[in-house]
């Protein structure tokens, strides 16, 4: 790791699929750490953070005060060697999708604190880590938007032939509200013909291009069926498969572009539909910025 900034280390770690711990220091005092595994963020802590994962989970009403006490006692009994997330799962207090969302929020809070130290220095230490691949996070899921957007803008200006940040990182922030859906696996903005305008995934096996073609076919079929039985034009469609749910919704009046979200079976379909509906206006505005005027209708 050769970068001297925290975000630089995280991005370099992503590219190199690096594993290890990044100590964040201010005037030679460690103020926090970022743990990475296989190029993704596994954990982050900040001394400015006022709560741990267990208290966050309690504050979000996922566990009771009594359950919080039980988790805390178990954690201290094992002298910190057993992770709080593991305890929550073993005690049957939390499902994996909800745990992932809470971890993401906890890491976001920690990173927001760490990035507030403008004079911070970093000390990366490579390590071989045992982690759970299902609860690792890409930078765009946990790094504050303003931080990564400023970095991306400077990167694109210096490396005009490299559109990684524009197409994969910066633009994917338009989908960020969907990342918090329980059971979230992937999301995308697609065209009616199955093209991918921007996509994000938290699982490596899911190919956005294949998802886009599938969803385009689903939308076309639902429109044909709804028109055939005189129900008017379909605005959204959903399919359940062995891996989970795929929900898609048109975002423009001419039905040329749609937003799609895929989740596992623990997801709440009402939350998915509500999330897509709330996001439609934001995506329409984003489309107007990145496409030629005649393409958006």
pLDDT at 20 > cutoff 90: yes
User: Alpha-carbon distance 129 to 116, whole Å?
Assistant: 27
pLDDT band (50, 70, 90) for residue 159: low
Find the helix or strand (DSSP H, E) in which 10 lies: helix 6-16
180, 186, 192, 194 alpha-carbon torsion, rounded to 10°: 170
pLDDT at 153 > cutoff 50: yes
pLDDT band (50, 70, 90) for residue 228: low
Summarize the confidence of residues 79-91 as an average pLDDT. 85
Radius of gyration of the chain (CA): 21
Chain mean pLDDT for the chain: 81
Is residue 135 within 8 A of residue 100, CB to CB? The reply is yes
pLDDT tens digits along 239-281: 888 888 889 888 888 888 889 998 888 778 888 888 888 888 8
pLDDT tens digits along 106-147: 998 999 999 988 888 999 999 888 888 878 888 878 887 677
Give the per-residue pLDDT at 169: 47
pTM for the model stands at 0.62
pLDDT band (50, 70, 90) for residue 292: low
pLDDT at 178 > cutoff 70: yes
pLDDT band (50, 70, 90) for residue 194: confident
Give the per-residue pLDDT at 21: 94
Facing residues of 199 across strands?
Answer: 188
Give the per-residue pLDDT at 114: 93
Q: Which domains does the chain have, with CATH numbers?
A: 6-142 (no CATH), 174-296 (3.30.450.30)
pLDDT band (50, 70, 90) for residue 46: very high
Full strand arrangement of the beta sheet holding 20-26: 40-46, 29-37, 20-26, 121-126
Find the helix or strand (DSSP H, E) in which 250 lies: strand 244-250
User: Alpha-carbon distance 14 to 132, whole Å?
Assistant: 17
pLDDT band (50, 70, 90) for residue 294: very low
9, 149, 251, 162 alpha-carbon torsion, rounded to 10°: -70
Find the helix or strand (DSSP H, E) in which 284 lies: helix 269-290
Give the per-residue pLDDT at 177: 82
């Amino acid at each position: 790791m050769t970068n001297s900034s925290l975000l630089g280390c995280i991005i370099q770690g992503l590219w190199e699929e690096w594993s290890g711990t990044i100590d964040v220091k201010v005037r030679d005092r460690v103020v926090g750490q970022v743990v990475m595994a296989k190029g993704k963020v596994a954990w982050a802590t900040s001394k400015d953070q006022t709560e741990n994962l267990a208290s966050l989970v309690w504050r979000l009403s996922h566990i009771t005060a009594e359950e919080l006490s039980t988790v805390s006692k178990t954690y201290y009994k094992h002298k910190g060697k057993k992770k709080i997330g593991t305890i929550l799962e073993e005690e049957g207090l939390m499902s994996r999708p909800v745990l992932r969302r809470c971890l993401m929020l906890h890491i976001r809070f920690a990173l927001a604190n760490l990035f507030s130290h403008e004079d911070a220095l970093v000390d990366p230490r490579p390590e071989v880590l045992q982690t759970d691949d299902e609860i690792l996070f890409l930078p765009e899921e946990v790094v504050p938007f303003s931080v990564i957007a400023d970095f991306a803008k400077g990167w694109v200006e210096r490396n005009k032939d490299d559109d990684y940040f524009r197409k994969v990182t910066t633009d994917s922030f338009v989908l960020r509200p969907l990342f918090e859906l329980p059971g979230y696996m992937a999301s995308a903005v697609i065209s009616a013909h199955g093209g991918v305008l921007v996509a994000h995934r938290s699982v490596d096996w899911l190919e956005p291009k294949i998802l886009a073609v599938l969803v385009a076919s689903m939308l076309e079929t639902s429109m044909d069926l709804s028109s055939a039985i005189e129900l008017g034009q379909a605005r959204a469609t959903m399919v359940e498969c062995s891996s989970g749910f795929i929900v898609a919704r048109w975002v423009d009046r001419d039905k040329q572009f749609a937003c799609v979200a895929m989740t596992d079976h623990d997801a709440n379909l009402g939350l998915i539909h509500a999330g897509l509906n709330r996001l439609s206006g934001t995506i329409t505005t984003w489309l107007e910025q990145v496409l030629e005027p005649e393409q958006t209708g």
